[in-house]
Amino acid sequence: MSFSLNSTTKLNNGVQIPRIGLGVYQIPPGIPTVRAVRYALEVGYKHIDTAKIYGNEVDVGKALKDNSSKREDIFITTKVWNTDQGYDSTLNAIDSSLKRLGLTYVDLYLIHWPVAGKIKETWKAMIKLLKEGKANAIGVSNYSIDELQETIQDSDIIPAINQVEFHPFNYSKDLLKFCVDNKIQVEAYSPLTRGRRLNHNEVLRISKKYNKSPAQILIRWNLQHDLVVIPKSSRENRILENSEVFDFQINQEDMRTLNNLNENLRTVFLD
Ligand SMILES: NC(=O)c1ccc[n+]([C@@H]2O[C@H](COP(=O)([O-])OP(=O)(O)OC[C@H]3O[C@@H](n4cnc5c(N)ncnc54)[C@H](OP(=O)(O)O)[C@@H]3O)[C@@H](O)[C@H]2O)c1
């Protein structure tokens, strides 16, 4: 499998999404976010993942303005927060996000978390803003199989993406299979386990074998499972390191070893 930072995968509505993106959760608003995004774009990242709740959409927008790339060459994702869910408030939420980002559309708009009782009406609003061209693709995040089923039950349009925590220590095989079977692309958040398993023995052993860092091994594992991956770093050396994952391939035996590390670890609930 040969990839580069320009490699994309096609979503179920034909939109191409770059396989790797920079996640900006917990990068402080202001200069740190502007710098991180600016640097990522300079070294060739084409995809940035933000959200209203991260509080740094304005800074992502600033970094985009500083960059000479054409708008259509960069893929921007943002997300509707839980308290904005519901039909009208979702429509208003994307307008506010677009204003903060300084954009007329996002490439991908996601429902950040499932909110019980609002799944269907929020999804209807997502379809409306897709049709209006405010988002080129729409999807969900943190959805279980049941919540995906509820979403697609009476809808012509199925989510293009389910963004979930995914790494060898949370290898959700059933969810992945359901998504693949229903043409929903899985996108891996917290692919580095937020640093919590980078020192695991097997990860270290495999990283030495390929002469790659533990972070690179975990990113590559996701790519080889055909996921889109959005590692976060605010440091230039790591932003670069996390993109240097295209010059090696983890063999089947080592993939199996990594697959067997699953412990249903959800780092998202630990902070
Ligand atoms: N949809 C959702 O509910 C949801 C939830 C969580 C995350 N996300 C998205 O997914 C993105 C990534 O997830 P995440 O931020 O939770 O965690 P992550 O990418 O798994 O890990 C980030 C942590 O790893 C460190 N790190 C980065 N590169 C490294 C490297 N090469 N070597 C060693 N340590 C490294 C970072 O520190 P430094 O910054 O200091 O380098 C940071 O502490 C987020 O930014 C966000 O865009 C979405």
Report the alpha-carbon distance of residue 76 to residue 54 in Å, rounded.
14
Counting ligand 1 atoms within 8 A of each CB, the residue from 111, 192, 230 with the most, and so the one to mutate, is: 192
Query: Between the CA of residue 82 and those of 52, 56, 115, 256, what are the distances in Å?
Result: 10, 17, 7, 37
pTM tops 0.85: yes
Beta bridge partners of 17: 9
The Å distance, Cα 233 to ligand 1 centre, comes to: 6
Q: What is the mean pLDDT of residues 162-185?
A: 98
Counting ligand 1 atoms within 8 A of each CB, the residue from 22, 106, 232 with the most, and so the one to mutate, is: 232
Question: How does pLDDT run across 16-61, given as a tens digit for each residue?
Answer: 999 999 999 999 999 999 999 999 999 999 999 999 999 999 999 9
Answer whether 109's CB lies under 8 Å from 95's CB. no
Domain borders along the chain are 8-196+226-233
Query: CB neighbours (10 Å) of residue 165?
Result: 21
Question: How does pLDDT run across 49-102, given as a tens digit for each residue?
Answer: 999 999 999 999 999 999 999 999 999 999 999 999 999 999 999 999 999 999
Q: Which residues of 178-210 are buried (b: 16+ CB within 10 A; e: fewer)?
A: bbeeeebbbbbbbbbbbeebbebeebeebbeeb
Sign of CA dihedral 49, 52, 53, 58: positive
Q: Where are the beta strands (DSSP E) in the chain?
A: 8-10, 16-18, 22-23, 47-49, 75-80, 106-111, 135-141, 161-165, 185-189, 228-229
pLDDT score of 15: 98
Does the beta carbon of 191 lie inside 6 Å of ligand 1? yes
Query: CB neighbours (10 Å) of residue 268?
Result: 15
pLDDT at residue 122 tops 60: yes
pLDDT score of 85: 98
CATH of domain 8-196+226-233: 3.20.20.100
pLDDT score of 4: 87
Going across the sheet that includes 185-189, the strands are 22-23, 47-49, 75-80, 106-111, 135-141, 161-165, 185-189, 228-229
CA-nearest residue, atom 37 of ligand 1: 233
Q: Which ligand 1 atom is at minimum distance from the Cα of 24?
A: 45
Does the beta carbon of 141 lie inside 6 Å of ligand 1? yes
Report the alpha-carbon distance of residue 230 to residue 53 in Å, rounded.
17
Instruction: With CA atoms as reference, report the closest residue to 175 among 139, 145, 150, 141.
Output: 145
Q: What is the mean pLDDT of residues 167-189?
A: 98
Residue indicated by tokens 């988002």: 135
Single-letter amino acid code for the residue at 196: R
Question: How does pLDDT run across 193-234, given as a tens digit for each residue?
Answer: 999 999 999 999 999 999 999 999 999 999 999 999 999 999
Q: What is the mean pLDDT of the chain?
A: 97
Q: What angle do CA 54, 48, 220 make, to 5 degrees?
A: 110
Q: Where are the beta strands (DSSP E) in 6-102?
A: 8-10, 16-18, 22-23, 47-49, 75-80
Reading the block at residue 5, the tokens are: 């930072």
Residue indicated by tokens 């960069």: 74
Does the beta carbon of 207 lie inside 6 Å of ligand 1? no
pLDDT score of 55: 98
pLDDT at residue 2 tops 90: no
Does the beta carbon of 40 lie inside 6 Å of ligand 1? no
Q: Which ligand 1 atom is at minimum distance from the Cα of 194?
A: 21
pLDDT at residue 255 tops 80: yes
pLDDT score of 271: 73
